[in-house]
């Protein structure tokens, strides 16, 4: 018998569970993810992995679940600096009396760099490896991403009003495209055109965006139908609802990402589906600003690809994709009066593979599959609040929070790690003992799963 | 000048902020809470406290906010052992195919004790110092509370079907009252009668419950109008909606706590207000089981006292009052289309003083005020995800999670403590430096608050 030589690889992550987010929706047990040159080379049982691969580094995660790095499909990263600046206010006073004056006085490249770095730190610590951004000074956001070692899809923002960043729509476009030119060789960065919203962009600008989109192969990221007021304004100005206007302008297509989509008629959902558009559901922000609740079960039924976003920290006030996954699952059930709607597996898909599809990056990220980049987060399921554990996928959505994230890799590089050696101490409770008791009951109850 | 002698006391907690939850809704800064013999003796500026009191122990919390211990106003603590046993299922298959068979086979005093201890550990670790329970074997739940050093209001459960715990309604009542007799001298425990729900309790049993309630001065805790199906069943069986039936039976009054109240007509809300009844809003559970969304803004408008509950971990799947506070605030805004509805201060009131009122314990707990028991939780606002901090009260509801709870005292005894010395480590981000940068921007932006 001739032994096959071991294959040398850089990193093997051996995990108790892996939820790879593939169409089969399986949960793998005692599985190794084999990583080399930033990519996933293999996914196989730990025993087999040890027979086939010799890893420079082995990370053993015996009480953890590996998931694809989460993707925040709509945010304004730099706005972390305005987290909790103003709350419990209707949209217009919130914007006009707090957010816009603060931006007007303090917006700068440094502001965006600092705020984006804070956002990167918060997101990485919560298992997010990629975000789809829209804000001024995308170059400064890029610098933060590069420092953090995080993946980003940067929206080159366009808006009709002047700011310290740019003078007019053409200037925004030019500055955005210049930023892209200087950054486009970075493998962690990709770009889209980001006309802010139908109510802040004129038709002529949308036409220019279309031209650049076609010429440069760039997707389009915009806010759409977030509030009823915005739709009414659109009707009064353009004699048509905003989505129909964008259709008439030729913007809708598989490269079109619309954030929010709270207020959509059935025929509008069909229009989005027919054109292969993507919706970013931002449940926390939509509730907090009292915009409403997007019709996610209907969108999914009609075949629209739906991802999840936090929106900016000024209206959330977290960049926490665990919170968005849970809230999306809960709201879909509660509003459709059907507890089977949007099960845990689908919530995780919305935060991973669906988002990757929307970004046109689903050949590179969004699942733990051979050939993709090793953008992976590990979630530790070993605390009392995640005990017992009958199903790690259920726990990911309903019991875990971002605080259970223990390791985050981007393209195979470890970008965040948290030690859990110091757990809480109780006066009269011994957590280790209680976990054993819980495990004992779990084995008895597993038959009812 | 004659110096006044210092007063000897047991414990002084010196905090950066205190949110005492008083009608003025103030946030105190650099404030000490003076504790002696389990009670709050004084609340005053740190400087003054040091001049007046000599504490055996001083706990300095210079980046923390003190809040009243949170009160979980509706739970089934022992059901932690069925956390995630079955999800994404409609109520009846969930109950009939998973929860009830598991209970039928495994319910025992030991099950309840173990599950309740797990619940106590989870709740204490999340800043909860008191819970209002309803489950079999209340004596076993009491034992867990006594071990954990946690306060509880134990519902003496009554239901018409036999279980391993009791044979019939009379037996449930007798066993519950026996448990109360043996436990009533424990200062951490109080009791209510807990007829399970109108659809599981006959009129004759409700009448017995009423009699005991009046004779023994015990409150009543029941499930009410959780689902539409339950109301339809009530109409078909009793020719009246369940709430009206309870009114006719004479049950409604200031000692009556109804969990859920998802489906309520305007005149029913007025009825609840007129009789001084209390509603427990359980937003996560109501969404997860697809029961709906309780009309909380309308209830508050009509003057009904509303508290918050997690329900059991089998339908949540967390006993996390931070999650319930945030979700309650978000849902109220989103469903009323008014972002000013249910501001942060009110969400915290629902989880503290409103709940204390419902339990008839508002002279003892629910706020940080002189004379009350020192049931206090400390929340650390110093991590990147809670940075910057313009308003600690906003952060408590919108940015913090239970993972930020650092200390929990019940009646002045430290029952939980978490060291935060080991934070997450980033590859290329220095958290301490980033916190300084964030603080710099905060000082610039504070003017827009």
**Secondary-structure breakdown of chain A: helix, strand, coil percentages, each rounded to the nearest 5:** 45, 25, 35
CB proximity A416 to B under 8 Å: yes
In a domain, A431, yes or no: no
Q: What are the backbone angles phi and psi of residue B411, rounded to the nearest 5°?
A: 50, 40
Final residue of a structural domain among A358, A377, A405: A358
pLDDT digits (tens, 9 = 90+) for B8-22: 999 999 999 999 999
Provide the pLDDT for residue A37. Answer: 98
Share of chain B above pLDDT 90, in %: 90
In a domain, B434, yes or no: no
Provide the pLDDT for residue B422. Answer: 60
Reported as a pLDDT band with limits 50, 70 and 90, residue B91 is confident
Final residue of a structural domain among A314, A330, A358: A358
A382 and A319 within one domain: no
Compute the mean pLDDT over every residue in chain B, rounded to the nearest whole number.
95
What dihedral do alpha carbons A360, A365, A368, A369 form, nearest 10°?
A: 60
In a domain, B428, yes or no: no
Q: What is the DSSP letter of B365?
A: S
Is A319–B125 a contact, with Cβ atoms under 8 angstroms apart?
no
- Find chain B residues with C-beta within 8 A of A319's C-beta: 385
C-alpha to C-alpha distances, A99 to A80, A86, A315, B434, nearest whole angstrom: 12, 8, 10, 22
Provide the pLDDT for residue A67. Answer: 98
The alpha carbon of residue A385 is apart from the nearest alpha carbon of chain B, in Å, by 5
B32 and B131 within one domain: no
What's B383's domain CATH number? 2.30.40.10
B226 and B112 within one domain: yes
Query: Which residue's structure tokens are 């079955």?
Result: B86
- Find chain B residues with C-beta within 8 A of A429's C-beta: 117, 120-121, 124, 147-148
Final residue of a structural domain among A316, A337, A358: A358
In a domain, A283, yes or no: yes
B219 and B354 within one domain: yes
Cα–Cα dist B22/B16, whole Å? 18
Cα–Cα dist A242/A252, whole Å? 12
pLDDT at B315 over 60: yes
Task: State pTM to two decimals.
Answer: 0.97
pLDDT at B190 over 90: yes
C-alpha to C-alpha distances, B366 to A340, B127, B201, B291, B309, nearest whole angstrom: 37, 13, 31, 29, 15
A377 and A346 within one domain: no
B377 and B331 within one domain: no
Reported as a pLDDT band with limits 50, 70 and 90, residue B423 is low
How many other β-carbons are positioned within 10 Å of the β-carbon of residue B432?
8
How many other β-carbons are positioned within 10 Å of the β-carbon of residue B110?
13
Cα–Cα dist A394/A382, whole Å? 14
Reported as a pLDDT band with limits 50, 70 and 90, residue A423 is low
Provide the pLDDT for residue B2. Answer: 59
- Bridge-based pairing state of the strands A28-36 and B278-281: unpaired
Token pair belonging to A196 = 């802010």
Higher pLDDT among residues B177 and A428, named by residue: B177
pLDDT at B420 over 70: no
Which of A193, A181, A188 has its CA nearest to residue A218?
Answer: A193
- Examine residue A411 and say whether the peptide bond preceding it is cis (omega within 30 degrees of 0): no
B57 and B86 within one domain: no
B208 and B137 within one domain: yes
The order of strands in the sheet holding B278-281 is B70-75, B128-135, B151-158, B189-195, B219-224, B256-260, B278-281, B305-308
CB of A196 closer than 8 Å to CB of A159: yes
Reported as a pLDDT band with limits 50, 70 and 90, residue B433 is confident
CB proximity B15 to A under 8 Å: no
pLDDT digits (tens, 9 = 90+) for B118-140: 999 999 999 999 999 999 999 99
Reported as a pLDDT band with limits 50, 70 and 90, residue B90 is confident
Is A434–B117 a contact, with Cβ atoms under 8 angstroms apart?
yes
pLDDT at A92 over 90: no
C-alpha to C-alpha distances, B224 to A24, A312, A362, nearest whole angstrom: 40, 38, 47
From A379-388, B168-177, B371-380, the region with the lowest mean pLDDT: A379-388
Token pair belonging to A139 = 């170059």
Mean local confidence (pLDDT), B336-345: 96
CB of A368 closer than 8 Å to CB of A162: no
Cα–Cα dist B377/B20, whole Å? 11
Q: What is the DSSP letter of A3?
A: P
Provide the pLDDT for residue A135. Answer: 97
How many other β-carbons are positioned within 10 Å of the β-carbon of residue B144?
24
Share of chain A above pLDDT 70, in %: 98
Instruction: For residue B448, give the 3-state DSSP assignment.
Output: helix
C-alpha to C-alpha distances, B186 to A251, B145, B255, B342, nearest whole angstrom: 69, 11, 21, 36
The alpha carbon of residue B301 is apart from the nearest alpha carbon of chain A, in Å, by 17
Q: Which residue in chain A is spatially nearest to B87 when comparing CA positions?
A: A394
In a domain, A336, yes or no: yes
pLDDT at B421 over 60: no
Cα–Cα dist A342/A299, whole Å? 11
In a domain, B396, yes or no: yes
What's A124's domain CATH number? 3.20.20.140
The alpha carbon of residue B385 is apart from the nearest alpha carbon of chain A, in Å, by 5
- Find chain A residues with C-beta within 8 A of B120's C-beta: 429
Mean local confidence (pLDDT), B249-256: 97
pLDDT at A392 over 90: yes
pLDDT at A65 over 60: yes
Cα–Cα dist B134/B224, whole Å? 14
> Buried b vs exposed e over A215-245: b needs ≥16 C-beta within 10 Å?
eeebbbbbbbbbbeebbeebeeebeebbbbb
B125 and B40 within one domain: no
B282 and B412 within one domain: no
The number of residues making up chain A comes to: 449
Token pair belonging to B326 = 């945030």
Q: What ipTM describes this predicted complex?
A: 0.96
Provide the pLDDT for residue B326. Answer: 98
CB-closest option in A101, A118, A445 to B387? A118
CB of B71 closer than 8 Å to CB of B132: yes
In a domain, B382, yes or no: yes
CB of B82 closer than 8 Å to CB of A420: no
Q: Which residue in chain B is spatially nearest to A323 when comparing CA positions?
A: B323
Cα–Cα dist B333/B341, whole Å? 5
B75 and B64 within one domain: no
Reported as a pLDDT band with limits 50, 70 and 90, residue A90 is confident
From A410-424, B17-31, B38-52, the region with the lowest mean pLDDT: A410-424
Which residues lie across from A329 on neighbouring strands? none
Q: What are the backbone angles phi and psi of residue B110, rounded to the nearest 5°?
A: -65, -40
- Number of A/B CB contacts below 8 angstroms equals 302
Secondary element (H or E) of residue A142:
helix A138-148
Q: How would DSSP label each residue in B82-95?
A: GTTSS-S--HHHHI
Provide the pLDDT for residue A422. Answer: 59
CA atoms within 13 A on the CB side of B430: 4
Which of B227, B210, B225 has its CA nearest to residue B158?
Answer: B210
Q: What is the DSSP letter of B146?
A: H
How many other β-carbons are positioned within 10 Å of the β-carbon of residue A427?
17
Number of structural domains, chain B?
2
In a domain, B284, yes or no: yes
B310 is in which domain, residue-wise?
Answer: 70-358
A296 and A190 within one domain: yes
């Amino acid at each position: 018998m001739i032994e096959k030589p071991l294959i040398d690889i850089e990193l093997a992550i051996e995990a108790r569970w892996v939820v790879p987010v593939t169409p089969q929706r399986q949960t793998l047990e005692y599985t190794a993810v084999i990583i080399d040159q930033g990519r996933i080379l293999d996914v196989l049982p730990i025993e087999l992995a040890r027979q086939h691969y010799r890893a420079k580094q082995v990370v053993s995660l015996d009480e953890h679940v590996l998931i694809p790095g989460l993707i925040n499909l709509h945010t304004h990263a730099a706005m972390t600096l305005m987290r909790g600046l103003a709350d419990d206010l209707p949209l217009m006073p919130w914007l006009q009396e707090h957010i816009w004056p603060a931006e007007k006085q303090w917006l700068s490249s440094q502001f965006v760099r600092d705020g984006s770095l804070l956002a990167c730190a918060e997101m990485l610590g919560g298992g997010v490896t990629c975000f789809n951004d829209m804000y001024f000074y995308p170059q400064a956001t890029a610098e933060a991403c590069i420092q953090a070692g995080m993946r980003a899809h940067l929206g080159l923002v366009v808006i009709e009003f002047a700011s310290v960043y740019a003078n007019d729509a053409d200037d925004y476009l030019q500055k955005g495209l210049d930023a892209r030119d200087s950054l486009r060789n970075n493998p962690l960065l990709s770009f889209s055109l980001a006309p802010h919203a139908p109510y802040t962009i004129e038709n002529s600008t949308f036409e220019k965006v279309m031209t650049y989109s076609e010429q440069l192969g760039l997707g389009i990221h915009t806010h759409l139908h977030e509030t009823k007021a915005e739709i009414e304004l659109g009707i009064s100005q353009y004699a048509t609802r905003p989505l129909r206007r964008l259709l008439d302008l030729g913007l809708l297509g598989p490269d079109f990402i619309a954030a929010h989509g709270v207020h959509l008629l059935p025929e509008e959902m069909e229009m989005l589906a027919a054109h292969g558009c993507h919706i970013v559901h931002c449940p926390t922000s939509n509730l907090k600003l009292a915009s409403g609740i997007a019709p996610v079960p209907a969108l999914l039924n009609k075949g629209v690809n739906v991802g999840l976003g936090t929106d900016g920290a000024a209206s959330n006030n977290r960049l926490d994709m665990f919170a968005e996954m849970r809230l999306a699952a809960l709201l879909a059930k509660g509003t459709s009066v059907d507890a089977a709607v949007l099960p845990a597996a689908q919530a995780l898909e919305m935060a991973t593979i669906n988002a990757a599809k929307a970004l046109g990056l689903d050949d590179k990220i969004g699942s733990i599959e051979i050939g993709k980049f090793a953008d992976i987060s590990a979630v530790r399921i070993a605390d009392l609040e995640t005990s017992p554990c009958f199903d790690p996928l259920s726990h990911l959505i309903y019991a875990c929070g971002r605080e259970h994230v223990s390791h985050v890799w981007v393209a195979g590089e470890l970008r965040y790690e948290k030690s859990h050696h110091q757990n809480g101490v109780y006066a009269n409770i011994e957590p280790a003992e209680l976990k054993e008791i819980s495990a004992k009951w779990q084995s008895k109850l597993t038959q009812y799963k």
